């Protein structure tokens, strides 16, 4: 049977070295024994050990200095300091300096056995604690990218490898989604290992031409391999069964996280769609009575006017304004629920932006906002639905103005992008958005404002989508926000 545990033994006393080597071998350890601390450190630099037993009194480097140097090479290596009676204070000092425990010479077999066992299980514990912590963090899940990142980091840490990469299959290709650590091996090689593990549906070990060892475990989401976690070892490390187990655990964890995140986003989009349908139905039901109310209010206003009742006139005007506001809201909601066919026509691209800017002039003046309008005259006309596009610009402008304190700066830019593209950006120096708001800003009815409707961004994105364009958000809390839109000038590309 090949020993599965390895011990490094350092003592300048050849006799002790010999005796201990025999005992440890008998206990099932693969032993590397040396009288020279430097040689022992060199060994630590080239391969991993499960435990080290080190004499306290050595020349030129004592056990304490050795422990420090050893931990520089293998941070979690348990070091047992060996000491003769009478130097116990030093041994205690050694433990304070990071040694795991001490053994007193001459060795009592039982003490040796139990301290070794504790050292080994402690090492496992350190790994397991890390693992549990990581798993805990992963489960309190977040955006999938972050989850995968945590998985990569955790995998690298607990398996003590050089690099860990999480691959996912996207559109038939294996894409590295998260990486921890560094190594010179090309990612293609790791992707190959990932493919192998996915094809076999189980953990796989691949040895490279240079002797480097790569472990890969498939991410099984409902039984299907959707990706793989790959860890890379320096050539000197021998993977243990425990390493493979850990990797498998992490892969399973990543798969759970992946599944959760997908499920959540599916649920959320399902719920949002349902919410949208209900909302537009309600809006539809409101449409007719609102029309009636508007009419009655106007009739009332005329009567009050005829009777010379100025107060009555003012009151009915208030009613009219409220009804008008409700009507606009209803229009927005119905428009979102059932977007009208686009009526594309040739329109001057910049003029439409300027028109929208003029529509928000009152708000600009109220807050004494500085407007920087940087519209590229080279941008000519475009084929688009002007009414719909106006909604986009207006919503972005209003949001930008809402976000700013007085005296802020609003920057609006346009320029051509590529042969058939227009890029428009609206930038503010306002409050900006945190990650949570950024993630939810396009959700129907998501708003952080007391009087917000949470419709603006949902509508903006839907219109941009229907024009075959793209919308990108750049925002930092306290720094402001920039929304960039790319639109094809000649219809869907
Ligand atoms: N320019 C911006 N600066 C800061 N936050 C913004 C900006 N644009 C949008 N948001 C955030 O996105 C949310 C949703 O916007 P929107 O859909 O237009 O709804 P509303 O403006 O009615 O709140 C806003 O409540 C706000 O929190
Ligand atoms: Mg808005």
Domain coordinates in residue numbering, the chain: 5-125, 137-261, 266-337, 345-488
**396 Cβ closer than 6 Å to some ligand 1 atom:** no
224-233 and 204-207 strand pairing? unpaired
Question: What CATH number labels 137-261?
Answer: 3.30.450.40
Which of 275, 456, 462, 477 to mutate for ligand 1's pocket (most ligand atoms within 8 Å of CB)? 456
Instruction: Please say if the pLDDT value at position 143 is more than 80.
Output: no
480-488 and 370-375 strand pairing? unpaired
Residue with the smallest CA separation from ligand 1 atom 9 is 399
Q: Tokens 């009739």 belong to which residue?
A: 299
Q: Which sign, positive or negative, has the C-alpha torsion 300, 301, 302, 306?
A: positive
Q: How far away, in angstroms, is 454 Cα from ligand 1 center?
A: 7
250-308 pLDDT, tens digit per residue, is 777 777 777 777 777 676 666 666 666 777 777 777 878 888 888 899 999 999 999 99
**Which CATH architecture group holds 345-488?**
2-Layer Sandwich (3.30)
What is the chain's length?
Answer: 493
Which of 408, 443, 447 to mutate for ligand 1's pocket (most ligand atoms within 8 Å of CB)? 447
**32 Cβ closer than 6 Å to some ligand 1 atom:** no
Atom of ligand 1 nearest to the CA of 432: 4
Predicted confidence at residue 291, as pLDDT, reads: 85
Query: What is the C-alpha separation between 41 and 235, in angstroms, rounded?
Result: 17
198-241 pLDDT, tens digit per residue, is 998 888 888 777 777 788 888 887 778 888 988 887 554 555 66
Which of 328, 336, 399 to mutate for ligand 1's pocket (most ligand atoms within 8 Å of CB)? 399
Atom of ligand 1 nearest to the CA of 480: 3
- The helix-helix angle for 386-403 and 349-359 (nearest 10°) equals 50
**Which CATH architecture group holds 5-125?**
3-Layer(aba) Sandwich (3.40)
Q: How far away, in angstroms, is 457 Cα from ligand 1 center?
A: 7
**480 Cβ closer than 6 Å to some ligand 1 atom:** no
Contact 390, 352 (CB under 8 A): yes
Give 365 or 242, the one with higher predicted confidence: 365
Predicted confidence at residue 149, as pLDDT, reads: 80
DSSP class per residue in 303-325: HHHHTT-HHHHHHHHHHHHHHHH
Query: What is the C-alpha separation between 228 and 198, in angstroms, rounded?
Result: 7
Nearest to 480 by CA among 422, 423, 415, 402: 402
**428 Cβ closer than 6 Å to some ligand 1 atom:** yes
Contact 174, 167 (CB under 8 A): yes
Nearest to 389 by CA among 468, 273, 272, 480: 468
Which of 89-93, 265-269, 316-320 has the least mean pLDDT?
A: 265-269
């Amino acid at each position: 049977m090949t020993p599965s545990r390895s011990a490094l033994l350092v003592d300048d006393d050849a006799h002790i070295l010999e005796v201990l080597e025999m005992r440890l071998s008998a206990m099932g350890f693969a032993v590397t024994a040396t009288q020279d601390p430097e040689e022992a450190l060199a060994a630590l630099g080239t391969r991993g050990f499960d435990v080290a037993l080190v004499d306290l009194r050595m020349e030129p480097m004592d056990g304490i200095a050795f422990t420090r140097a050893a931990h520089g090479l293998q941070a979690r290596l348990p070091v047992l300091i060996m000491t003769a009676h009478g130097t116990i204070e030093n041994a205690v000092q050694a433990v304070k300096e990071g040694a795991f425990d001490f053994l007193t010479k001459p060795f009592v077999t039982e003490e040796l056995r139990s301290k070794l066992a504790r050292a080994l299980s402690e090492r496992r514990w350190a790994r397991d604690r890390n693992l549990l912590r990581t798993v805990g963090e992963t489960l309190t899940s977040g955006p999938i990218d972050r989850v995968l990142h945590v998985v990569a980091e955790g995998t690298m840490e607990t398996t003590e490898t050089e690099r860990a990469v999480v691959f996912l299959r996207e559109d038939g290709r294996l894409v590295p989604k998260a990486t921890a650590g560094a190594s010179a091996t090309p990612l293609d090689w790791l992707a190959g290992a990932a493919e192998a593990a996915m094809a076999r549906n189980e953990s796989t070990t691949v040895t490279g031409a240079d002797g480097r060892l790569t472990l890969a475990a498939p991410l099984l989401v409902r039984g299907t391999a959707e990706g793989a976690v790959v860890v890379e070892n320096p050539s000197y490390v021998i993977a243990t069964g425990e390493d493979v187990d850990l990797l498998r655990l992490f892969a399973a964890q990543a798969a759970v996280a992946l599944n959760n995140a997908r499920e959540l986003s599916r649920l959320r989009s399902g719920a949002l769609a349902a919410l949208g349908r209900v909302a537009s139905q309600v809006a539809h039901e409101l449409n007719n009575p609102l029309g009636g109310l508007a009419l009655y209010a106007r009739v009332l206003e005329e009567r009050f006017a005829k009777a010379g009742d100025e107060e009555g006139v003012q009151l009915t005007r208030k009613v009219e304004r409220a009804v008008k506001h409700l009507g606009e809201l209803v229009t927005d909601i119905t428009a979102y629920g059932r977007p009208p066919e686009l009526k594309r026509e040739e329109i001057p691209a910049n003029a439409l932006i300027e028109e929208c800017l003029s529509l928000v002039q009152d708000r600009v003046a109220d807050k004494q906002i500085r407007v920087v309008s940087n519209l590229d005259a080279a941008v000519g006309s475009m084929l688009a639905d002007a009414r719909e596009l106006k909604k986009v610009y207006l919503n972005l402008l209003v949001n930008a103005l809402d976000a700013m304190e007085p005296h802020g700066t609003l920057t609006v830019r346009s320029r051509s992008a590529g042969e058939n593209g227009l890029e428009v950006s609206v930038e503010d120096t306002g409050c900006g958005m945190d990650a949570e708001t950024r993630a939810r800003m396009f959700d129907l009815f998501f708003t952080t404002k007391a009087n917000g409707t949470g419709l603006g961004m949902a509508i903006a994105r839907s219109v941009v989508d229907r024009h075959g364009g793209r919308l990108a958000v750049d925002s930092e809390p306290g720094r402001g926000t920039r929304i960039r839109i790319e639109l094809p000038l000649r219809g869907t590309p």
